[in-house]
């Protein structure tokens, strides 16, 4: 792994401004708050500037990161970009060693914007976290019945999640794209519940196409989760077109992958199989805060925060399921499917592979905290009423 040094302010100025203005527009779109539209992007852009301008030395990087960078530079040299990739699909498949070419193309276009440096794709990933937060906030309102007045709080909670900030700022990885796609999928399902079928269909197709060429099994699991949500939703018969979409999508994706690819994936699962109970606990909890290797030491504080909120996250999963909407069932089932998949695959149980679920984890944390606060408020109100009744009875007044 190369030894690197931090970058100058002149080099970082353009990506910093990109992060700031992307965050400003997304935050204003969701919150309509001038203060937050300036403050939240300022914080995220400031963290980016501080890390790459002062701390970056290559310690907190991974082999996959450099693979994306080297392949992205190669695609840049060949003139391949998102505007002309259809004519260069064979070169993309060759560079990626398969159909997962999206993030290599992502790196190439990031280098076009900001120069061929490690921070270039990271800057776009940070901007995508605002997009993910925006879509998940809208999904929470439309599909989880989170009150409109709590939109600002939910969005801010998403954007300032310590794990979200740490991973999106430090790592050059495709998990941010997967996480954003997850938020958009939840939004698409929520729009179908609202009767906006065209918007839901277009969003779902775009997400499915991007994720298929990023991490092929995520669209499969999303379609499976959607089918399960319809089955377990009391009003499932109201969504015949979603039934058709889920079944058709599964057939199309499975046919595109082919029997041999699916058999190979199943064989890999068998080879890496571990006890799913142990694996699920390890996947959800690892690592122990301040017990990490040097390469993962940047998540010590975020992981401590995550551990502190685990009870709220668990309760949030329960409260989300109890909402009994198509969206709530979809995100819980998808979350559990991903956990079960990684629980039986021993080599993929680190925190890096949990990051793709961060937008759902933060949703569960927020709803869990919100539910606890509401219940505490009701209990206090009940205690006040009870005390008032005692005072009235003792005074001999009519009750």
Mind listing the pLDDT tens digit for each residue in 30-41?
Answer: 999 999 999 999
**Which has more pLDDT, 30 or 380?**
30
Q: What per-residue confidence (pLDDT) applies to 99?
A: 84
Nearest Cα to 354, choosing from 256, 246, 269, 281? 281
pLDDT in tens, 106-125: 999 999 999 999 999 999 99
Q: What per-residue confidence (pLDDT) applies to 381?
A: 55
Please answer whether residues 189 and 139 qualify as being in contact, where contact means their C-beta atoms are separated by less than 8 angstroms: yes
Q: What per-residue confidence (pLDDT) applies to 21?
A: 98
Residue 136 burial (C-beta neighbours within 10 Å; 0-12, 13-18, 19+) = buried
Q: What is the mean pLDDT of residues 339-358?
A: 87
Nearest Cα to 62, choosing from 193, 174, 221, 227? 174
Q: What is the mean pLDDT of residues 175-180?
A: 96
> In Å, how far are 43, 134, 181, 208 from 25, measured between CA atoms?
15, 11, 19, 25
Least confident of 135-139, 204-208, 326-330, 358-362: 204-208
**Which has more pLDDT, 91 or 382?**
91
- Measured CA to CA, the distance from residue 163 to residue 304 in angstroms comes to 10
pLDDT in tens, 72-88: 999 999 999 988 888 88
- Measured CA to CA, the distance from residue 127 to residue 45 in angstroms comes to 9
- Measured CA to CA, the distance from residue 112 to residue 358 in angstroms comes to 29
pLDDT band at residue 43 using 50, 70 and 90 as cut-offs: very high
**Residue 287, preceding peptide bond in cis (omega within 30° of 0):** yes
Q: What per-residue confidence (pLDDT) applies to 272?
A: 62
Q: Phi and psi dihedrals of 215, rounded to 5?
A: -150, 95
- Measured CA to CA, the distance from residue 33 to residue 43 in angstroms comes to 16
Please answer whether residues 360 and 336 qualify as being in contact, where contact means their C-beta atoms are separated by less than 8 angstroms: no
**Which has more pLDDT, 13 or 379?**
13
Q: What per-residue confidence (pLDDT) applies to 37?
A: 97
Domain definitions of the chain by residue range: 9-61+118-368
What percentage of residues in the chain have a pLDDT greater than 90?
61
Q: What per-residue confidence (pLDDT) applies to 26?
A: 97
What percentage of residues in the chain have a pLDDT greater than 70?
84
Average pLDDT value over all residues in the chain: 87
């Amino acid at each position: 792994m190369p030894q690197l040094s931090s970058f100058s302010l002149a080099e970082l100025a353009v990506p910093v401004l990109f992060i700031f203005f992307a965050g400003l527009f997304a935050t204003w779109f969701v919150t309509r708050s001038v203060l937050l539209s300036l403050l939240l992007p300022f914080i995220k852009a400031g963290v980016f500037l501080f890390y790459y301008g002062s701390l970056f030395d290559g310690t907190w990087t991974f082999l996959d990161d450099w693979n994306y960078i080297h392949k992205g530079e190669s695609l840049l040299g060949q003139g391949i970009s998102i505007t002309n990739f259809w004519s260069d699909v064979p070169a993309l498949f060759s560079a990626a060693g398969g159909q997962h070419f999206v993030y290599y193309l992502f790196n190439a276009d990031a280098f076009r914007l900001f120069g061929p440096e490690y921070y270039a794709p990271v800057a776009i990933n940070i901007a995508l976290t605002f997009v993910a937060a925006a879509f998940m906030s809208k999904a929470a309102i439309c599909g989880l019945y989170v009150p409109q007045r709590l939109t600002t709080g939910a969005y801010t909670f998403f954007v300032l999640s310590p794990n979200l900030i740490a991973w999106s700022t430090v790592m050059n990885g495709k998990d941010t794209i997967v996480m954003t796609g997850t938020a958009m999928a939840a939004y698409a399902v929520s729009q179908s519940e609202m009767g906006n079928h065209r918007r839901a269909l277009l969003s779902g197709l775009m997400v499915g196409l991007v994720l298929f060429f990023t991490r092929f099994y995520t669209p499969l699991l999303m379609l499976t989760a959607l089918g399960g949500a319809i089955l377990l939703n009391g009003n499932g018969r109201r969504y015949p077109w979603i039934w058709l979409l889920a079944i058709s999508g599964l057939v199309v994706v499975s046919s595109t992958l082919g029997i041999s690819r699916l058999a190979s994936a199943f064989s890999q699962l068998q080879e890496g199989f571990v006890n799913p109970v142990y694996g699920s606990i390890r996947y959800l909890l690892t690592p122990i805060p301040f017990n990490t290797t040097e390469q993962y030491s940047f998540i010590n504080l975020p992981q401590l925060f995550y551990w502190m909120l685990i009870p709220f996250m668990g309760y949030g999963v329960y409260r989300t399921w109890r909402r009994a909407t198509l969206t709530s069932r979809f995100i819980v089932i998808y979350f559990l499917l991903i956990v079960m998949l990684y629980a039986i695959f021993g080599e993929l149980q680190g925190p890096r592979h949990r990051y793709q679920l961060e937008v759902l984890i933060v949703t569960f944390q927020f709803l869990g905290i919100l539910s606890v606060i509401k219940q505490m408020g009701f209990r206090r109100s009940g205690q006040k009423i009870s005390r008032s009744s005692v005072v009235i009875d003792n005074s001999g007044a009519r009750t």
